[in-house]
Chains A and B, each alone.
Chain A
Amino acid sequence: MSLPVSDSPEDLRRWRLPRGRHGLPRELVERSQRERLLAAVVKVTAANGYESTTVGDILGEAGVGRESFYELFDDKLDCMLSAHKLLMDDLEERVRDKYLGEDPWTERMRRALAATLDWFAADPDAARFTLVELSTVGPAFRPTFQAEFARAVALLEQGMGDDAPQPELAQANSLAVGTILARIYEEVVLDRAAQLPSRLPDLTYELLVPFVGEEQARAAADA
Chain B
Amino acid sequence: MNTSIDFCGAKFPNPTVLASGILGVIGDSLKNVAEIGAGGVTSKSVWLERHEGHKNPTMMGSEHFYINAVGLPDGGIDKAREELGKYLEWKNSQPEGKRVPLIGNIVAGTIADFENIAGQMAEIGPDIIEVNISCPNVEDEFGRPFACVTADAAEVTRIVKSVSKNIPVAIKLSPNVANIGEIAAACEKQGADAITAVNTFGPGMVIDIDTAEPILANKVGGVSGPGIKPLAVKRVWDVAQAVSIPVIGMGGVLTGRDVIEFMMAGASLVGIGAGVFYRGSEIFSDVMLEVEEWMKENGVKDLSEVIGKAVKYGIGCRG
* Chain B binds chain A: no
Binding site for B on A (CB under 8 A): none
